[in-house]
Amino acid sequence: IKMFSQSGTWNLEIKDDGKGFNVENTNAGNGLANMSVRTKELKGVLSVRSNQDMGTTICAKFEIENINY
């Protein structure tokens, strides 16, 4: 898990080296759907990259100016 700021954005990156999954076919569970909803509520962007047998990377990016402390 990484958290960092870069070029006016606050970034959260979660990465693993597991078995991966097909991003186009994610019908099981609510995890990714909930992450997407919560990211949008904070005016952010969520991206998910996964490859079979190569793991998964989930990134959430938020414009720093949109973050209320």
Question: 58 pairs with which residues across the strands?
Answer: 14, 48
- pLDDT of residue 26 exceeding 90, the answer is no
- pLDDT of residue 16 exceeding 90, the answer is yes
Confidence class of residue 33 from pLDDT cuts 50, 70 and 90? confident
Residues 11-47 as b/e (b if ≥16 CB within 10 A, e otherwise) read ebeeeeeeebbeeeeeeeeeebeebeeebeeeebebe
- What's the pTM? 0.81
